[in-house]
Amino acid sequence: MKLSGSSGKREAKLLEKVPKPAPKLISTDDKETIVMQKINGEKVRDLLDQKPELAKEIGEKLAKLHDADIIHGDLTTSNMILDKEIVFIDFGLSFHSRKVEDKAVDIHLFRQALESKHFTVKEKAYKAFLEGYKKVEHYKEIMKRLEEVELRGRYKHK
């Protein structure tokens, strides 16, 4: 897969640091174009309603990403492919951060994706997600901040 754009160089650098499995960076050039491995499989978007337990693996993978201080930035089930295991794709909005706030926002975005696309299994999937995510360093601190993030969002439009 070939991508071009201003975020290409940043995405290429991040891809080299993303815990595996992840799309393998094949090449990059000075014109901010990157070529990466194509990941075969099905989008988790098309599977999660029938298999909400897949969310546990999503939680485990996100915990590894966050322990590496990488924020995905667009954590939806459309950006995950299940081959032999779940692989996160599309790191165009990703960035490095040690901030608990950024990790909490990543989870909040995933939860919003569950509520909009997978509303019939959102409770079961989120519970499975948290079971997997518990392996992250600073779990309690991140969960506390997530509550604050969600409260801000809830009252923002009133």
Which are the catalytic amino acids? 74
Residues 6 or more apart whose Cβ sits within 8 Å of residue 1:
23, 35, 36, 37, 38
Residues 6 or more apart whose Cβ sits within 8 Å of residue 140:
none
- Per-residue three-class SS string for 64-76: HHHHCCEECCCCC
70, 59 contact by CB (below 8 A): no
The whole-angstrom separation of Cα 23 and Cα 88 is 8
